[in-house]
């Protein structure tokens, strides 16, 4: 923490404006210069090793500098790096679309390409809106979203997001979104047990749909985990209920699986656990195993057909991005699916996540400042609380998570927090002994922080 600033760090700060950062924080804590990666590890310019417990913003699946994927990337680069995707196509995109249509819920048959998660969300919103316009339902022009939802940072995506930290200043620019109370199992207002819950909280959505369905084009939700809000988890039965309501009220169901897709929740896609088919599914992050920006929106023939007409009808979907359907990214995404299958990773994720959950629950659940340890698939979250009984949170000004993050970094663990929530979302190649090391190092960091915090009578260190 008190290391002298390196030459590269100094030059970084001369010109680079980092994402999701108060740049002034870097005065005391400059960005760490990463030189290389291998498996679950990152290595900085001084050779210090870090376990990447957050999969580099939830994108990495099979480790850094993965030999198989890197070779595949190089081969594709020597064959075709990019081509315009309107009026042209290429085999990697065709194969990928075929595979995605096959492994996602039945009925999702059409694939639209983009290059990041926010764009995928924009596309789903625009398609849903335009669908209703072209189906002579011009009043269906609003979206229903959830408190604590996160769907990305572009204006349309922010409009359906519910994390004030990211969106409040932009309110005057945003769409007029309807907002339902999201499921909150940790602080459940209905005192339900999440393992055996009949989701009374769905009534918040139902009320809005009943009253406003004629104005609503689509509902958008993060299936099973509201990730950016602090890995808030809820049961599949909620999604089942929501699907029924959407069908009943003629409202599209947009499943934003940007974070949870590709095995994170223990199944290839989170929607599988609820046995539902959304009208739109947004995928990105893990799609290329953390190698290249790529996203897709999958939808149904029903939606597709509403845009399919003679040119003069002006019904086409004219959205495009320069790097749409990039061949390097598509080729890698195919390799990622191959690794899933050949390495039997869905099975491996089940085993590894069971081990992780047992160990972490034992270590964390009795800690006086941990409200709960929760886990879905390969996503584990530690909810820090001021008071275990009342679940009173620490105030955000205390930046408890951020302080623990700094301690953990010193110990070689990258554990970037979401407010009062520390989480594990490691690459799937993590081994049992590494899971143990990750969990124990996080525990030591938490204990070290609270020992000092409590010594000072609950003051910041």
Q: Which residues are annotated as a binding site for pyridoxal 5'-phosphate?
A: 117-118, 256, 321-322
> At 42, which helix (H) or strand (E)?
strand 41-44
Does residue 418 belong to the site contacting ligand PLP (CB under 6 A)?
Answer: no
Size of the site for ligand PLP (CB under 6 A): 14
Whether residue 166 contacts residue 158, with contact meaning beta carbons closer than 8 Å, is answered with: yes
Please return the burial class of 312, using the count of CB atoms within 10 Å of its CB with bins 0-12, 13-18 and 19+: exposed
Q: Which range of residues in 36-44, 112-120, 387-395, 403-411 is near ligand PLP by CB under 6 A?
A: 112-120
Can you tell me which of 51, 124, 158, 228 binds ligand PLP, judged by CB under 6 A?
A: 228
**Selection from 261, 181, 227 nearest residue 421 by Cα:** 227
Can you tell me which of 52, 148, 222, 335 binds ligand PLP, judged by CB under 6 A?
A: 222
C-beta atoms surrounding 193 within 10 Å: 8
Q: Which is nearer to ligand PLP, 160 or 442 (CB)?
A: 160
CA distances to 126, 396, 444 from 455, in Å = 54, 21, 16
Q: Which residue has the tokens 């459940």?
A: 188
Q: Give the integer Cα–Cα distance in Å for 230 and 425.
A: 12
Q: Which is nearer to ligand PLP, 80 or 155 (CB)?
A: 155
Q: Which is nearer to ligand PLP, 63 or 152 (CB)?
A: 152
Q: Classify each residue of 95-129 as buried b or exposed e, where b means 16 or more C-beta atoms within 10 Å of its C-beta.
A: ebbebbeeebbeebbbbbbbbbbbbbbbbbbbbbb
Q: Which is nearer to ligand PLP, 114 or 370 (CB)?
A: 114
- Residues annotated within a binding site for substrate: 57, 150, 285, 320, 416
Residue 30's SS3 state is coil
Does residue 356 belong to the site contacting ligand PLP (CB under 6 A)?
Answer: no
Does residue 122 belong to the site contacting ligand PLP (CB under 6 A)?
Answer: no
Q: Give the integer Cα–Cα distance in Å for 261 and 257.
A: 5
Residues 131-190 that bind ligand PLP (CB under 6 A): 150-152
Q: Give the integer Cα–Cα distance in Å for 48 and 153.
A: 32
Write down the least CB distance from residue 116 to ligand PLP, Å: 4
Provide the token pair at 134: 């072209």
Does residue 404 belong to the site contacting ligand PLP (CB under 6 A)?
Answer: no
Write down the least CB distance from residue 231 to ligand PLP, Å: 11
Q: How many helices (H) and strands (E) does the chain have?
A: 15, 16
C-beta atoms surrounding 42 within 10 Å: 21
- Residues annotated within a binding site: 57, 117-118, 150, 256, 285, 320-322, 416
Can you tell me which of 258, 276, 298, 330 binds ligand PLP, judged by CB under 6 A?
A: 258
Write down the least CB distance from residue 248 to ligand PLP, Å: 25
**Selection from 109, 3, 108 nearest residue 48 by Cα:** 3
**DSSP state letters, 376-399:** ETTEEEEEE-SBTTTTBPPPGGG-
Q: Which is nearer to ligand PLP, 259 or 330 (CB)?
A: 259
Q: Which range of residues in 27-35, 173-181, 220-228, 364-372 is near ligand PLP by CB under 6 A?
A: 220-228
Write down the least CB distance from residue 293 to ligand PLP, Å: 7
Whether residue 406 contacts residue 29, with contact meaning beta carbons closer than 8 Å, is answered with: yes
Can you tell me which of 122, 148, 256, 279 binds ligand PLP, judged by CB under 6 A?
A: 256
**Selection from 199, 153, 193, 158 nearest residue 175 by Cα:** 158
Q: Which is nearer to ligand PLP, 90 or 151 (CB)?
A: 151
Q: Which range of residues in 131-139, 186-194, 256-264, 386-394 is near ligand PLP by CB under 6 A?
A: 256-264
Which x/- pattern, by CB under 6 A, does the window 275-314 give for ligand PLP? Answer: ---------x------------------------------
C-beta atoms surrounding 309 within 10 Å: 12
Can you tell me which of 116, 177, 273, 324 binds ligand PLP, judged by CB under 6 A?
A: 116
Give the residues lining the site for ligand PLP (CB under 6 A): 116-118, 121, 150-152, 222, 227-228, 256, 258-259, 284
């Amino acid at each position: 923490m008190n290391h002298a600033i390196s030459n590269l760090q100094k030059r970084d700060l001369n010109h680079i404006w980092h994402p999701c950062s108060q740049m002034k924080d870097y005065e005391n804590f400059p960005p760490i210069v990463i030189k290389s990666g291998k498996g679950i590890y990152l290595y900085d310019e001084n050779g210090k090793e870090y376990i990447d417990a957050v999969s580099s913003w939830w994108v990495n699946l099979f480790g850094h500098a993965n030999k198989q994927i890197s070779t595949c990337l190089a081969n594709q680069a020597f064959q075709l790096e990019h081509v315009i995707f309107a009026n042209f196509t290429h085999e990697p995109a065709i194969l990928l679309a075929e595979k995605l249509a096959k492994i996602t819920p039945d009925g999702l048959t059409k694939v639209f390409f983009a290059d990041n998660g926010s764009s995928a969300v924009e596309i789903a919103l625009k398609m849903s809106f335009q669908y209703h316009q072209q189906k002579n339902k011009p009043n269906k022009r609003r979206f229903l979203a959830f408190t604590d939802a996160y769907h990305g940072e572009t204006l349309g995506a922010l409009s359906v997001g519910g994390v004030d930290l990211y969106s409040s200043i932009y309110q005057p620019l945003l769409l007029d979104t309807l907002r339902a109370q999201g499921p909150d199992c940790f602080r459940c207002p209905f005192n339900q047990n999440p393992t055996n819950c009949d989701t009374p909280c769905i009534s918040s959505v139902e009320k809005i749909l009943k009253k406003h369905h004629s104005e609503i084009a689509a509902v958008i939700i993060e299936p099973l985990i509201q990730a950016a809000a602090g890995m808030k988890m809820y049961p599949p039965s909620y999604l089942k209920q929501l699907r029924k309501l959407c069908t009943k009220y003629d409202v599209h169901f947009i499943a934003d699986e940007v974070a949870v897709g590709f095995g994170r929740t223990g199944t290839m896609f989170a929607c599988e656990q609820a046995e539902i088919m959304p009208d739109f599914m947004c995928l990105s992050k893990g799609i290329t195993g953390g190698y290249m920006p790529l996203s897709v929106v999958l939808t149904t023939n029903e939606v597709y057909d509403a845009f399919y007409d003679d040119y003069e009808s002006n019904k086409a979907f004219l959205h495009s991005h320069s790097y749409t359907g990039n061949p390097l990214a598509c080729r890698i995404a195919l390799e990622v699916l191959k690794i899933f299958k050949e390495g039997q990773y869905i099975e491996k994720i089940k085993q590894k996540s069971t081990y992780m959950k047992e160990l972490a629950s034992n270590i964390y659940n009795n800690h006086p400042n941990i409200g709960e340890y929760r886990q879905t698939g390969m996503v584990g979250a530690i909810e820090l609380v001021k008071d275990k009984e009342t679940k009173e949170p620490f105030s955000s000004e205390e930046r408890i998570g951020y302080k623990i993050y700094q301690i953990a970094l010193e110990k070689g663990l990258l554990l970037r927090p979401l407010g009062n929530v520390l989480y594990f979302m490691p690459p799937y190649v993590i081994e049992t002994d590494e899971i143990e090391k990750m969990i124990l190092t996080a525990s030591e960091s938490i204990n070290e922080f609270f020992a000092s915090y409590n010594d000072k009578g609950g003051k910041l260190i």
